[in-house]
Structure 1
Amino acid sequence: MDGMFDQHWLLEAVDLLVRVVEAAGILIIFVGAMMAFVRFVIVGLRYRQSKAFVPIRLTLGRFLTLGLEFQLASDIMRTAVAPTLLDIAELAAVAAIRTALNYFLAREIKQERREIAELGSPGSADSNQAGPGRAS
């Protein structure tokens, strides 16, 4: 009976931790999306040039990548305690999909960094300038 209680407690603890890590990933993605949206509106009203949106996409990509890493961590934690063969197969599929997403996001971030370095960006230059209410 003691061993069964300990295992039940462990499963409950892992489930709680998984939910916390999942929530962190969701929160990271949500915050990044909201920040990108606000910057999109501001930059869109000021510049109306497509190259002005490159830094916004770069920032959003970073948030998405980080959020996906948290989601993958929660999936790994979920299957860490007494996984079945089906659990492992599902984890492998989810990990492959999320790893592919991270790979393509990282590649796009790298490309956009190159564009910023080559062309410069009005949106990023403006956000680094001191203005009313901003410290340099």
Structure 2
Amino acid sequence: MESEFIQIMTVTGYALEAFGVLVVLIGSCLATAVFVRTYRALGEGVAYKKFRQNLGRSIILGLEFMIAGDIIRTVIVADSLQNVGILAVIVLIRTFLSLTLFLEVEGRWPWQKDGPQ
């Protein structure tokens, strides 16, 4: 019974990570399609800025799914101290990437209010 649960959690973790990659891929394709479609209508600067925002949002969302998959696989499946340490480093790197991408896309930190600063 326990081995079945661990196997299910392993598959769930990998599925979440695969879904995160899929989110990044589909988001990148959609952002590129929107950019190509609106490039002439919006102008070079505006279209490029929107492209970067859409691309950044898809990367941020994909990273969140990848972090969730890592957490599930490490905490449930391979719960050694070394694996938890590796997970901590991975989560810190991905969180740093998410925060900096959010700042780049939105022009503010996640804890700041919307609107002009």
Report the TM-score range of the alignment, normalised by the length of the smaller protein: 0.7 to 0.9
TM superposition shift of 1:80: 1.6
1:15 counterpart = 2:13: no
The match for 1:108 among 89, 100, 104 is: 104
The residue that corresponds to 1:79 in the other structure is 74
SS at match of 1:79: helix
- Residues paired across the two proteins, number: 109
Q: Contact between 2:23 and 2:61, CA under 8 Å: does it hold in 1?
A: yes
Unpaired segments of 5 or more residues in structure 2?
109-114
The residue that corresponds to 2:111 in the other structure is none
The match for 1:40 among 32, 35, 42 is: 35
The match for 1:54 among 46, 49, 56 is: 49
The residue that corresponds to 1:90 in the other structure is 86
Distance in 2 (CA, whole Å) between partners of 1:65 and 1:18 is: 18
Q: For residue 89 of structure 1, what is the amino acid of its counterpart?
A: G
Q: Which runs of 4+ in 1 moved over 4 A?
A: 45-48
Q: For residue 95 of structure 1, what is the amino acid of its counterpart?
A: V
TM superposition shift of 1:108: 0.9
Could you state the TM-score of these two structures normalised by the residue count of structure 1?
Answer: 0.71
> After alignment, is 46-55 or 15-24 more displaced?
46-55
Q: For residue 91 of structure 1, what is the amino acid of its counterpart?
A: L
| 1:81-112 deviation digits (Å, cap 9, x = unpaired) | 25111101110110011000000011012229
Higher gyration radius (CA): 1
Distance in 1 (CA, whole Å) between partners of 2:15 and 2:47 is: 36
Q: For residue 69 of structure 2, what is the amino acid of its counterpart?
A: S
